[in-house]
Chain A
Amino acid sequence: MPTYTAPLDDMRFVLFELLGADKLAELPGFGDATQDVVEAVLEEAGKFAANELQPINHSGDEEGCHYENGTVTTPKGFKEAYAKFIEGGWTGLPCDPEFGGQGLPKVVNFAVEEMICSANLSFGMYPGLSNGAYNALALHGTSEQKATYLPKLVAGTWSGTMCLTEPHCGTDLGLIKTRAEPDADGSYKITGTKIFISAGEHDLTDNIVHLVLARLPDAPAGIRGISLFVCPKFIPNTSGEAGPRNAVRCGSIEHKMGIKASATCVMNFDGATAWLVGQPNKGMSAMFTMMNAARLAVGMQGLGIAEAAYQGAVMYAKDRLQMRALSGAKFPDKPADPIIVHPDVRRMLLTMRALTEGCRAVSYWVGMELDISRHHPDEKRRQEADDLVALLTPVVKAFLTDHGFHAANLGVQVFGGHGYIREWGMEQLVRDARITQIYEGTNGIQGLDLVGRKLSLGMGRLLRRFFHPVGAYLEAAAEKPEMVEFALPSMKAFAKLQQATAWLAQAGLKNPEEAGAAATDYLRLFALVALAYMWCRMAEIALRKQAGEKAPFYEAKLVCARFFMTRLLPETNTLFATLTSGSQTLMALPAEAF
């Protein structure tokens, strides 16, 4: 069974040496987020994840959730762990102090989310969904709604959901059928069925706050006729506590491939009382503020799984004795060498590590920019940060979750036959990771979001927020002899990305199918360039500090940077070739010929 230790050294390196997160404390509202506090927070969160959440990960997967007559019970130990989690105040980490939160930066929450997801992805779903509901209500709720729901969501005694999907519509929410009829008292009655509702029903909290997309009677058809409602399981009474039972019930739970300890529910609304959140028919934009945050959070799930898979694989590769090193015995006193002596095992371990550390750097960078976009005093800087976050959100979601799944697979491979056996815990990571590539917008949709929306926004303004600093940095870095080995391959990959972007702009004008055909490859090319940029900057720091007292850490960084540049970044050539080959081969076969 894999154990987990929070990668605090790497987190500290990324936050404070690479990104300068110590400067966050200078922004208005973040005065408490000094480096010593953030480090103490990460250390305690790491302990909690390793000692409380990881031990119930495998048992939760084996047992799964139970459904009986509308009631859902989480696996053994989840209730106790959740009680400790909220007692520790972890649900309030990024939330507004006005509602009882700690007001810490999002990027700190990113790191904590990563740890939770490494330790127990299923568990992380419950507070994760609550945070989504918190975000939607904090941005779009009335002051009364905020006063009613936010303190409870922050404290974690109530949890939240996002009720979007219906049996006939997932990606295309314009097809939603759930209805909302106005009542005389200003509330609404919701009727319809929602499926795939994570944390829709469970036994962890006193109340569950559903955020529901539904149609008003006079709503226009399609995506512009959807409104957002808040619909609690128990209607709050005058003292603000859970009151009468509302007419929303769980009809069943899904039997899934992974995240089995997370209750995925069919929710039936039978004239359930609800209140409008935000403006009528503007539900999609309200929901999107929540979805963008959720997409980044799903990216962190991918990163968390990748880290867990890497740690498990390293432990096994050092322990498993099998055959001798090709160059002769490395541990002659043992009956065989540990498999970590083999180049192919190292290829797998380093692939996991170089991509995981690169993903951590890119995603925490986006997390920092998210904080800057909300807290920086200068409006121009806020806008720039917001642009970058918007541009990189689909990249983070899709690439980190693809990597999470890929790393989990490599983890199984390093374990050989034992990886395929449930008791070792490695195959669970594969199954758990698989959903992250699907929910919150499939990774195909993320590609479309990137090429279809983000590239064209503001005449390429978003793109320039990335291209300009990356281009300028790489050019300067290439001037330094010691940086050439990192900067040159990165510049080549960056040039490919620029060419691909230009190709896309031209080809897409002629034929809209081209953008769709190129989207997934383009997103991956984009992500690899973002990772290359981060690896260059990490290598630059490591070169400066490798003679110091933490030499082994920085030397390892340099090895990983070189591995990334020489063995992973060349994939950009393939991606460029495939995407510029165009849509023709994809579209040539008539549907009936499949």
Chain B
Amino acid sequence: MKVLVAVKRVVDFNVKVRVKADGTGVETANVKMSMNPFDEIGVEEAVRLKEGGKATEVIAVSLGPTQCQETIRTALAMGADRGIHVQTDVELQPLAVAKLLKAVVDKEQPQLCILGKQAIDDDANQTGQMLAALLSWSQATFASKLVINGDGTANVTREVDGGLETIQAKLPLVMTTDLRLNEPRYASLPNIMKAKKKPIEQLTPEALGVDPAPRLKTLKVVEPPKRKAGVKVKSVAELVDKLRNEAKVI
């Protein structure tokens, strides 16, 4: 079974994100970029499937500018076998990503596609679902446990509001990862060295026959408002009054 993992290059989770002066987006120049943490979990899960004999090949796919190859190399250093880079400088939105990934899936024919449940930059939480819909595959989102059964199905435990829900899904499957699925490993030194020699295939949206042009327009990006200082109330009556008349919550 081939496993395809999508890996997105995002602003590193340690970086304090700043809004660009012109309000068109967030500052990414000279900012440390890393693999989306949910995608790291996806790579780890795929590599574990391979180590457990369930998967035969792990392919890491990234879409975007040239630097995305660094993100693919990180996945290769963690143990993915090869990479696919769809090169584009166009701003990619979830639908375009899903369409591009579908085109890659059509080409590679994996049985399992693993994505992060969301990326920590835009927090869209849409791509996995869109991809499953475009492919007409089963989908299992927010996975915290994955068991591949021998009969062409997989049991996926999902984190839902009420607790854990385990569903059985038919392969091929699109799965999105939640934080507790696993703890990603450190890339070992020998694997970092080997990663350099693993192949990365270069593709373009045109070659895949996909128009990645954005459908949504960003009007404005602003910092969250600063929290104002609180006030002390003198009595319960004053508190109730403020809750009722100022905050209008009761």
Q: Name the B residues within 8 Å of A345 (CB-CB).
A: none
Given A549-B30, A550-B30, also A36-B73 (CB < 8 A)? yes
If A37-B196, A102-B193, A549-B30 touch, whether A89 touches B73 (CB-CB below 8 Å) is: no
Q: Is the CB of A549 within 8 A of B189?
A: no
Residues 167-204 of chain B: 1 if any A CB is under 8 Å from the residue's CB, otherwise 0? Answer: 00000000000000000001111111101100000000
Q: Is the beta-carbon distance between B188 and A88 smaller than 8 angstroms? A: yes
In this assembly, does A44 line the interface, its C-beta being within 8 Å of a C-beta of chain B? yes
* Set A41, A84, A550: member contacting B192, Cβ < 8 A: A41
Closest to A52 in B: B186
Query: Is A313 part of the contact surface with B, judged by Cβ < 8 Å?
Result: no
Interface size grouping (class) on chain A: 20 to 34
Q: Please tell me if A96 contacts chain B, counting CB pairs below 8 Å.
A: no
- Is the C-beta of B77 less than 8 angstroms from some C-beta in chain A? yes
| Chain A contacts for B189, CB-based, 8 A | 41, 44, 88-90, 92-93, 102
- Determine if B186 and A40 form an interchain contact, defined as CB atoms under 8 angstroms apart: no
Binary contact readout A538-569 vs B (1 if CB under 8 angstroms, 0 otherwise): 00000000000110000000000000000000
Question: How many A-B residue pairs lie within 8 Å, measured between CB atoms?
Answer: 47
Interface residue B29 (Cβ < 8 Å from any Cβ of A): yes
Q: Which residues of B contact A89 (CB under 8 A)?
A: 188-191
Interface flags, B69-91, vs A, CB<8A=1, else 0: 01001100100000000000000
Pick from A37, A87, A90, A549: contact of B193, CB under 8 Å? A37
Which residue of B has the minimal Cβ distance to A552?
B30
Question: What A residues does B187 contact at CB under 8 A?
Answer: 40, 44, 88
A47 / chain B contacts, CB cutoff of 8 Å: 186
Tell me which residues across on chain A come within 8 A of B191, comparing CB atoms.
89
Taking the complex as formed, is A32 at the interface, i.e. its CB lies under 8 A from any CB of chain B? yes
B70, B73, B77, B193: which has the most chain A beta carbons within 10 Å?
B193
For the complex formed, measure the closest distance between the CB of B214 and the CB atoms of chain A, giving whole angstroms. Answer: 25
Interface residues in B35-83 by Cβ distance below 8 A to A read 70, 73-74, 77
Chain B residues whose CB sits within 8 angstroms of the CB of A90 once the complex forms: 189
Does chain B have a CB within 8 A of A48? yes
- Please give the distance in Å from A488's CB to the nearest CB on chain B: 33
Query: Which of chain B's residues has its CB closest to A103's CB?
Result: B193
| Closest residue on chain A to residue B34 by CB atoms | A43
Contact of B196 among A32, A92, A549 (CB under 8 A): A32
Question: Closest CB of chain B to A458's CB: distance in Å?
Answer: 38
CB distance from A222 to the nearest CB of B (A): 43
Q: Any chain B CB within 8 A of the CB of A246?
A: no
State whether A87 and B77 are in contact (beta carbons under 8 Å apart), knowing that A37-B193, A550-B30 are contacts in the complex.
Answer: no
Quick one: closest A residue to B73, CB to CB? Answer: A40
Least distance between A59 CB and chain B CB atoms (Å): 21
Contact indicator A549/B29 (Cβ below 8 Å): yes
Q: For residues 101 through 148 of chain B, which have their beta carbon under 8 Å from a beta carbon of chain A?
A: none
Q: Are B29 and A87 in contact (CB under 8 A)?
A: no
Rounded to whole angstroms, the CA-CA distance of A549 and B29 in the bound complex is 8
Contacts of B188 in A (CB 8 A): 87-89
Is A40 touching B77 in the complex (CB atoms < 8 A)? Answer: yes
The residue on A at minimum CB distance from B77 is A40
Return chain A residues, CB-CB under 8 Å to B190: 89, 92, 102
Residues in B neighbouring A40, C-beta threshold 8 A: 73-74, 77, 187, 192, 195
Taking the closest CB of chain B, its distance from the CB of A564, in whole angstroms, is 25
In angstroms, how far is the closest chain B Cβ from the Cβ of A130? 15
Q: Mark A32-54, 1 if CB is under 8 A from B, else 0.
A: 10101100110010011000100
Kindly list chain A residues whose C-beta atoms are within 8 Å of the C-beta of B73.
36, 40
> Complex Cα distance A550/B30, Å?
7
Flag A92-111 by CB within 8 Å of B: 1 or 0 each. Answer: 11000000001010000000
Contact yes or no, A44 B186, CB < 8 A: yes
Measured CB to CB, the closest approach of chain A to B173, in angstroms, equals: 31
A-facing mask of B209-224, CB < 8 A → 1, else 0? Answer: 0000000000000000
Q: State which of B30, B70, B186, B196 has its C-beta within 8 Å of the C-beta of A34.
A: B196
Does B30 contact A44, Cβ atoms closer than 8 Å? no
Bound form: Cα–Cα A37–B189 in Å: 10
Choose among A40, A84, A89 the residue with the greatest number of B CB atoms under 10 Å from its CB: A40
CB distance from A75 to the nearest CB of B (A): 21
Q: Least Cβ distance of B186 to chain A in Å?
A: 5
- Complex CA–CA separation, A231 to B74 (angstroms): 41
Complex CA distance for A93 and B190, rounded to whole angstroms: 9
A34 to B186, CA, bound (A): 21
Instruction: Name the distance in Å between A111's Cβ and chain B's nearest Cβ.
Output: 13
Minimum CB–CB distance from B134 to chain A (whole Å) comes to 34
**Which chain A residues border B29 with CB–CB below 8 Å?**
549
* Nearest CB in chain B: distance from A210 CB, A: 26
With A and B bound together, what is the CA distance between A137 and B192 in angstroms? Answer: 27
Among B30, B186, B196, the residue within 8 A (CB) of A36 is: B196
A92 CA to B191 CA in the complex, in Å? 13
CA distance A47 to B192 in the complex (A): 14
Tell me the smallest distance from the CB of B72 to a CB of chain A, in Å.
12
Alpha-carbon separation in the docked complex, A465 to B202 (Å): 48
Question: What is the CA–CA distance of A47 and B40 in the complex, to the nearest angstrom?
Answer: 14
- Neighbouring B residues of A87 by C-beta, 8 Å: 188
> Complex: how many Å from CA A36 to CA B72?
13
Of B70, B74, B186, the most chain A CB neighbours within 10 A belong to B186
Chain A residues near B192 (CB-CB < 8 A) = 37, 40-41, 44
Minimum CB distance partner of A85 in chain B: B186
Restricting to A92-134, which residues have a CB under 8 Å from any CB of B?
92-93, 102, 104
Give every chain A residue within 8 A of B195 (Cβ-Cβ). 40
- In Å, the complex CA distance between A37 and B186 comes to 15
C-alpha gap A47/B184 in the complex (Å): 12
Q: Are B30 and A48 in contact (CB under 8 A)?
A: no
- The answer to whether B186 touches A84 (Cβ under 8 A) is yes
A24 vs chain B, min Cβ distance (A): 14
Contact partners of B74 in chain A: CB under 8 A: 40
**Smallest distance from the beta carbon of A42 to chain B beta carbons, Å?**
10
A84–B195 alpha-carbon span in the complex (Å): 20
When C-beta atoms are compared, the residue in chain A nearest to B187 turns out to be A44
Residues of B within 8 A of A37 (CB): 192-193, 196
* Residue numbers in B under 8 Å from A550 (CB-CB): 30
Alpha-carbon gap, A87 to B190, bound state (A):
10
Shortest C-beta distance, B155 to chain A (Å), equals 29
- What is the distance, in angstroms, from B133's C-beta to the closest C-beta of chain A? 36
B17-36 CB mask vs A (1 if < 8 Å, else 0) is 00000000000011000000
What is the minimal beta-carbon distance from B9 to any residue of chain A, in angstroms? 14
Chain A residue nearest to B195 (CB atoms) is A40
Q: Which residue of A lies closest to B76 (CB)?
A: A40
Residue of A nearest to B14 (CB): A5
Looking at B29, B70, B73, B188, which has the most chain A CB atoms within 10 Å of its CB?
B188
7 A–B contacts from the bound complex (CB under 8 Å): A40-B192, A41-B192, A44-B187, A90-B189, A102-B193, A104-B193, A549-B29
Interface residues of B (CB under 8 A from A): 29-30, 70, 73-74, 77, 186-193, 195-196
Instruction: Give me 13 other A-B pairs in contact (C-beta within 8 A), A32-B196, A40-B74 excluded.
Output: A34-B196, A36-B196, A40-B77, A40-B187, A40-B192, A41-B193, A44-B77, A44-B189, A47-B186, A88-B188, A92-B190, A102-B189, A550-B30
Closest 3 CB pairs of A and B: A89-B189, A88-B188, A89-B190
